[in-house]
Chain A
Amino acid sequence: MTHNPNPNLDHLVDPRLIVRPDRYLIRANGRSTRFLVVEIAAPTVAPDPSRRRPPVNLAFVLDRSGSMGGHNKLSLAKQAVLESIHRLEVEDRFAVVTYDDQIDVVMPGTLATPEARREAARRLAGIEPRNSTDLHAGWLTGCEQVAAGLGAEGVNRVLLLTDGLANRGVTDPAELARLAYDLRRRGVTTSTFGVGSDFDEALLQAMADNGGGHFYYAGDVAQMRDHITSEVGETLEVVAREVVLELTLPDSVRIDSLSPFRVEQGGGRTRILLGDMVSGQLLTIALRLTFDFGSVGREVGIVLRVADRDRAFEAATPSISSVSLTWTYADTNANDVQPRDVEVDRVVARLFAERAKQEAVRLNREGRYDEARHALDGVRRRVHEYAGSDTVLRGLVDELSEEQVQFAAPMPEMARKAAYFASSNLSRMRTAEGKSRRA
């Protein structure tokens, strides 16, 4: 391996890229839909006392609207922020912004020295709940603080917390999502935290997805504190930023992602943006490919590679090279009898189920109980068709049967948000509580 000029990239080990198609034959005289499961493991940092992790640069953006006075939400949010600040090193940077309909930069971006941390505690003590919610302005101000100290290495991120609806400034979820994406491409990522029942989870999820971060739901203040702690902890463990699964495909093959990651196409490549990955993190993505007609015996191939902004995957040992995959055109009979990879079926079924659940949450909220039940039942029936004797797939069928009943009746908002959060995490291959999965 050639000498690496960045010592932080030494001692990265065991990255993985494993690709599993559900079937290898495609129809000669028809279109074929095939699925692909891609398992990616980020390199793990091998223990090394001389390795310094890159510094992080965070901005905590806290909602201080009037409703944050309930249940000690603001006090506990402040506490969680201070606890997180105390875990930083002196090379790390942090800023604190509070917002209601006015924006206050309580702590402009600063290195996390002991004096800065004490000052942050003093200033936060004086912040009490106040007015309405200009989330857009608060968030942008946090972005400015991060941008002012943008680190070339390490995570640069805004952590945005709210308990309510954005009701001042820009409130359109699509516009906020687009802005979050624009900032993300310029190096400032966004994670979002929603507390209680009143915030819009679609908005916060979209900002996090487009912003390259994560969305968290806290039903109570204890969960809020856990989530803030967990998120900050993970920023300290990021080993590869802006990980991209890159595919080279023939023009005749269409691709879409069943996993809710952003897909970009252009320049002859399809890129799936996976965001930052922590040491040893496991991500499993499912893709759907559509093939055209072809002549029996002809082969179609794709190539997959993993890349990241810091070239951590490239620098890790052993290095993983690209993976090539080939499908062969065959007649109908050969197609019908070919074996399927049941593991792929399981992943695909799970993703369809979670999509249906998230849809059911929306429908239930609108009082469309029959449609909510129907959405879940549709997936249940389809999975049942190919479940056969597979215990995992049959378990999923049972799960969907139970959930249909639940979603077909009025649900408290908290239950809906909790269901949404768990489902959102599972479809992103995180734990139900919102943590990265590790190898």
Chain B
Amino acid sequence: MPEDPYSLADLARLADVTPRTVRYYVAQGLLPSPDAAGPATRYGEGHLARIRLIRRLQRDHLPLAEIRARLERMGDEEVLAASAVLDPQEPEPSLVAQDTLDFVRTLMRDAGVRPTVATPQSPVRRLESMEAPAPRGARAPSLPPAPAPAPASPPPSVHSSPGPVPESSPARTAPDRTTWERLVISPDVELHVRRPLGRQTNKRVDQLERIARELFEDP
């Protein structure tokens, strides 16, 4: 991006030195002479980067002669690179689509994420397994989520057990994968609901929740 050239005053302010110091550095051969002279004098990013570098090297107790010797050999790119080493920036990753896709796929592979992808022909078809790691979503009894800290203790039958067969859903749930949801009615009263449920049952639970909340509302 094009940078605005700086006046002597701007440069001094940005570098936190006095204009006199800038002129001194130029006189000492630490900074290249700026373009033009007098009120129209313009300095660039290279000047700013050089002054920063000079100040850092001074803080490291290098004598001016030594600093000059180093800077003399450096073009603008090298000065900016030297600043970058002292003040690193995370490199910008590529925005090339394939790189991004590869990055995501690596994350997925490392985490064992294997989605089932629908195709035009059928709603859901399992992808052929190509990798060894145990897939996520394997048939294992799932425990309900750990209860949040609460005074009430969970209901006795919280272990996995065959649940009611969902009424209308075409996807039959494996009975050992139900979980319990806690619906808070009031600070002291909770409703525990095993999920998933069929549509009708869900509606009744909603109704029960509504009524229960009304019952326990403050008068």
Interface residue ranges, A against B (CB under 8 Å) = 65-67, 69-72, 97, 101-108, 119, 123, 126, 128-132, 134, 136-137, 140-141, 143-144, 147-150, 164-165, 167-170, 179, 182-183, 185-188, 197, 248-253, 264-269, 298-303, 307, 314, 321-322, 324, 326, 410, 412-413
Query: In angstroms, how far is the closest chain A Cβ from the Cβ of B20?
Result: 11
Q: Are B145 and A132 in contact (CB under 8 A)?
A: yes
A-B contact pairs, 20 of them (CB 8 A): A66-B194, A67-B195, A69-B197, A71-B206, A103-B136, A128-B170, A132-B179, A136-B111, A137-B113, A140-B113, A144-B104, A187-B97, A187-B100, A264-B89, A301-B9, A301-B13, A303-B4, A303-B14, A321-B4, A324-B13
Tell me the complex Cα distance, A412–B87, Å: 47
Partner of B137 from A102, A268, A298, A299 at Cβ < 8 Å: A102
Interface secondary structure of A, over-half rule: mixed
**Which of A72, A179, A324 is close to B10, meaning CB atoms less than 8 Å apart?**
A324
Q: Shortest CB–CB separation between residue A280 and chain B, in angstroms?
A: 23
Closest CB of chain A to B132's CB: distance in Å?
A: 18
- A186 proximity list for chain B (CB < 8 A): 93-95, 99-100, 103
Most buried by A among B13, B111, B181: B13
A267 touches B179 (CB 8 A): no
Distance between Cα atoms of A143 and B100 in the complex (Å): 9
Q: A179 to chain B: which residues have CB within 8 Å?
A: 107
**Contact A182 to B115, CB < 8 A, known contacts A251-B55, A264-B89, A300-B13:** no
Bound-state Cα–Cα, A107 to B18, Å: 63
- Residues of chain A with a CB closer than 8 A to B187's CB: 410
The smallest C-beta distance from A70 to any residue of chain B, in angstroms, reads: 6
B134: Cβ under 8 A from any A Cβ: no
Distance from A370 Cβ to chain B, minimum over Cβ atoms (Å): 19
Closest to B9 in A: A299
Q: Please state if B14 and A249 are interface contacts (CB–CB under 8 Å).
A: yes
The 4 closest A-B pairs by CB, nearest first: A66-B195, A301-B13, A266-B89, A250-B16
- Nearest CB of B to A247, in Å: 10
CA distance in complex: A183, B100 (Å): 8
Binds A, one of B27-35, B36-44, B70-78, B116-124: B116-124
For the complex, give the distance between the alpha carbons of A168 and B145 in Å. 10
* Alpha-carbon distance between A182 and B91 when the two chains are bound, in angstroms: 12
User: Is A266 touching B88 in the complex (CB atoms < 8 A)?
Assistant: yes
Residue numbers in B under 8 Å from A140 (CB-CB): 104, 107-108, 111, 113
Give, as a whole number of angstroms, the nearest-CB distance from A212 to chain B.
13
User: When the two chains form their complex, are residues B14 and A307 in contact, meaning their CB atoms are under 8 A apart?
Assistant: no
Pairwise interchain contact B95-A103, C-beta atoms closer than 8 A = no
Contact assessment for B116 and A70 in the assembled complex, using a CB-CB cutoff below 8 Å? no
B201 to chain A, nearest CB (A): 8
